[in-house]
Amino acid sequence: MPFQYKNLNITKLSVIGAGQIGPDICLHFAKVFWRDNVSFVIIDISEDALANARRKIEKKINKGQETGAFKKEMADAMKQSINYSTDYSHVAGSNIVVEAATENEKIKDIIFKQVEEQTDDSCLFFSNSSHMKPEVIFKNISNKGRTMVTHYFFPAERNPVVEVVPGADTDPAIVADVMGLYEAIGKVPIRVGSSYGYAIDPIFEGLCELAILCLEKNYGTVKEIDKMAQKTLRQGVGPFTALNLTGGNPITNHGLEEMRDTHISWFRSPKTLQEATEKGIMWSTAKRGEEVEVSDNKAEVLRKQFLGGYFALACYIIDLGISTVDDLDMATEISLVISAPFSLMNKTSINESYDLVKEWCEEHTEFPFPKSLREAKDNGGWEISTISRTTQNKVAVLTIRRPKVLNALNLQVLGDLIGEVKNAEADSNIDAIVITGFGTKAFVSGADLNMLATLKTPDQGYDNSHTFQGFLNDIEACKKPVVCALNGFAFGGGNELAIACTARIAKKGLPVVACQPEVNLGFIPGAGGTQRLPRLVGVDIAAEILRTAVPVSGKRALEIGMIDREADGDLVEEAVAFANQLVSGEATKRELVQSDGGSNEPKDLDIGHLSKKIDEIINRAIYEGIKLPLNEALELESNLFGECILTDDMKIGLTNFKTNGPKVKAEFNHS
DSSP tag of 391: E
| pLDDT over 70 (residue 235) | yes
Residue 149 dihedral angles phi and psi, to the nearest 5°: -90, 135
- pLDDT, tens only, 622-646: 999 999 999 999 999 999 999 999 9
- Highest average pLDDT, of 90-104, 589-603, 655-669, comes from 90-104
- pTM (2 d.p.): 0.94
Superfamily of domain 3-191: NAD(P)-binding Rossmann-like Domain (3.40.50.720)
Closest CA to 626 of 594, 596, 593: 594
Candidates 183, 518, 566, 643; catalytic one: 518
Asked whether 257 and 269 are in contact (CB, 8 A), the reply is yes
4 forms beta bridges with 9
CB-CB contact of 258 with 278 (8 Å): no
**93-107, 219-233, 293-307, 450-464: least confident range:** 450-464
User: Taking the C-alpha atoms of 80, 81, 87 and 92 in order, what is their torsion angle to the nearest 10 degrees?
Assistant: 150
Task: Decide the pairing of beta strands 39-43 and 82-85.
Answer: parallel
**Residue 293 is among the residues annotated as catalytic for this protein:** no
In the set 183, 205, 333, 496, the catalytic residue is: 496
Question: Which pairing describes strands 12-16 and 96-99: parallel, antiparallel, or unpaired?
Answer: parallel
CATH class of the domain at 387-660: alpha beta
SS3 9: strand
pLDDT in tens, 40-71: 999 999 999 999 999 999 999 999 999 999 99
- Whether 561 and 537 have beta carbons less than 8 Å apart is answered as yes
User: What phi and psi values does residue 306 have, to the nearest 5 degrees?
Assistant: -75, -35
pLDDT by residue (tens digit) across 258-279?
Answer: 999 999 999 999 999 999 999 9
User: Which of the 8 DSSP states describes residue 281?
Assistant: P
Domain with CATH 3.40.50.720 in the chain: 3-191
Question: Which CATH architecture does the domain made up of 201-378 adopt?
Answer: Orthogonal Bundle (1.10)
Whether residue 571 contacts residue 484, with contact meaning beta carbons closer than 8 Å, is answered with no
Where exactly does CATH 3.90.226.10 map onto the chain? 387-660
Which one is predicted more confidently, 615 or 594?
A: 615
Range with the poorest average pLDDT among 122-136, 354-368, 371-385, 648-662: 648-662
**Where in the chain do CATH 1.10.1040.50 domains reside?**
201-378
Q: What is the average pLDDT across 216-242?
A: 97
Which residues on neighbouring strands pair with residue 444, listed in sequence order?
490
Residue 291 designated active-site: no
User: Percentage of the chain surpassing pLDDT 90?
Assistant: 94
